[in-house]
Structure formats: structure tokens, C-alpha cells
């Protein structure tokens, strides 16, 4: 299935320790079997919102920019379970969450303070062990390294489009992983991270979309 349309949601912006401001994007894949949402923006204890100087939007407002409502989302993919990627999962409690099993285990172990956001009562997980098709024309591929269970999404859109999550924060890092200066947190496991970027490059995507940068990379 080709030609699936991807829409970018502006969910928040936050300020890093270096004083740089970063956008926070989610993406909607307009799928005939029901819209697929990739990542749900920022939530978390107030401490995170303060520390990162978050200017937040509700997912419902961001969807309304595209004439969509939360009920239009049939399934959610979390690239990983950091506070700026799963923050509003509970808004989509009607939908299953496609997450790598290793990522859920990591988050349950390391991020107990986020439990209300990704592990709320009634949350339904579709736990994945590596690559998987989530709908015709939409696949997740395991891209560990940023976190142990990070995954990216590959869409048969205008060519093969990649929603890269935090596998690379910026086009620059994506294009030059060996020489780019890596912001804190980019790679929890550098060797694994580098291998994941190699893998993405080898698949020669037509477009790469970033959670934390507005430019779209080509190839």
C-alpha cells in the first residue's frame, strides 16, 4: 500500500540544558483502517515541565489543527517511553499502544514517576519483540540505542518515509552520526545507537521526519 499521508502534530516545545529550544512533534498516519498516532507529546510530573520550560499543548488541540479528534486514532505507536513521547497516552485510552517489550520493561524499572502517563489503569499494550507490521503499509523497526527498546516507524507514503523518533534528534545527527556533537541523552548505548543509524541509512528512506526538529531529511 503506497501513498499514505503523514501529518505532523506540534505538541510542545521545551528548553534543553544548553538553552536551546526543541519542538516536540507527534505524527498521524492517515490510514484507511483508522488513523495511527506516533508519540503523544509531553506529560510527566510538574518537575519535568518546569525543568524543561515546557510550553505544552493538548494532543486534542494539536489534532484539531488537522480536523481530527482523539477518537479518530485507532492505534498508537510509542517510539519509546520518555516523558516527551508518551505524555498524553491516557487521552487515547481507547486505542492499543504498540511498544517494544524491552522498552516497557525499562520504563517500568527506571521511570516509575511516569507510570501515570504510560501505564495508567486499563492501558492496553501490544508488546513487540523487534520489527513488526502494525497495519498494511506501516511497520515499526527496532532502532535501539537511544533507549534499549526504541523503535522507528516506516510508512509507505511518498516513497518510504521514516518517523525516526529519538534515534536522531536532528537531521545533522542523522546525516553525520560519527562526527556530530551528540546532545546529552542522544545515545544511552553508543555502539548500539550507531548500528541503528547504520541500519536506517541502509534502508535509504525517501524522507526522515524528526520529533525534535522541523526540517525533513531526504535519503
x/- letters, 37..76, toward Zn ion (CB under 5 A): ----------------------------------------
Residue placing its CB nearer to Zn ion in the complex, 119 or 166: 166
What proportions of the chain, in percent to the nearest 5, are helix, strand and coil? Answer: 25, 30, 45
**103 belongs to the binding site for Zn ion (CB under 5 A):** no
Query: What number of chain residues touch Zn ion (CB under 5 A)?
Result: 2
Say which residues have a Cβ less than 8 Å from residue 64's Cβ, sequence separation at least 6. Answer: none
**CB 3 to Zn ion: min, Å:** 30
**82 belongs to the binding site for Zn ion (CB under 5 A):** yes
Sites for Zn ion among residues 150-209 (CB under 5 A): 166
- Exposure class string for 179-199: b at 16+ Cβ within 10 A, else e: ebeebeebbeeeebbeebbee
Residue placing its CB nearer to Zn ion in the complex, 31 or 146: 146
How many other C-beta atoms lie within 10 A of the C-beta of residue 149?
24
**CB 80 to Zn ion: min, Å:** 6
User: Which of 145, 142, 169 is closest to 154 using CA atoms?
Assistant: 142
Q: Which residues are near Zn ion by CB under 5 A?
A: 82, 166
Amino acid at each position: 500500500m503506497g501513498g499514505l499521508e503523514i501529518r505532523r502534530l506540534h505538541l510542545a516545545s521545551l528548553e534543553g540544558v544548553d538553552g536551546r529550544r526543541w519542538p516536540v512533534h507527534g505524527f498521524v498516519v492517515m490510514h484507511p483502517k483508522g488513523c495511527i498516532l506516533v508519540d503523544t507529546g509531553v506529560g510527566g510530573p510538574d518537575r519535568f515541565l518546569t525543568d524543561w520550560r515546557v510550553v505544552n499543548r493538548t494532543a486534542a488541540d494539536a489534532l484539531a489543527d488537522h480536523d481530527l479528534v482523539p477518537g479518530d486514532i485507532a492505534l498508537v505507536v510509542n517510539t519509546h517511553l520518555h516523558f516527551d513521547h508518551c505524555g498524553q497516552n491516557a487521552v487515547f485510552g481507547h486505542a492499543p499502544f504498540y511498544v517494544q517489550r524491552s522498552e516497557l520493561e525499562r520504563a517500568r524499572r527506571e521511570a516509575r514517576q511516569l507510570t501515570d502517563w504510560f501505564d495508567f489503569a486499563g492501558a492496553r499494550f501490544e508488546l513487540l519483540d523487534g520489527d513488526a507490521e502494525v497495519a498494511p503499509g506501516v511497520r515499526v523497526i527496532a532502532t535501539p540505542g537511544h533507549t534499549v527498546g526504541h523503535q522507528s516507524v516506516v510508512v509507505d507514503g511518498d516513497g518510504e518515509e521514516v518517523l525516526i523518533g529519538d534515534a536522531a534528534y536532528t537531521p545533522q545527527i542523522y546525516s553525520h552520526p560519527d562526527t556530530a556533537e551528540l546532545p546529552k541523552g542522544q545515545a544511552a548505548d553508543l555502539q548500539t545507537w550507531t548500528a541503528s543509524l547504520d541500519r536506517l541509512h541502509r534502508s535509504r528512506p525517501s524522507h526522515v521526519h524528526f520529533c525534535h526538529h522541523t526540517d525533513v531529511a531526504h535519503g
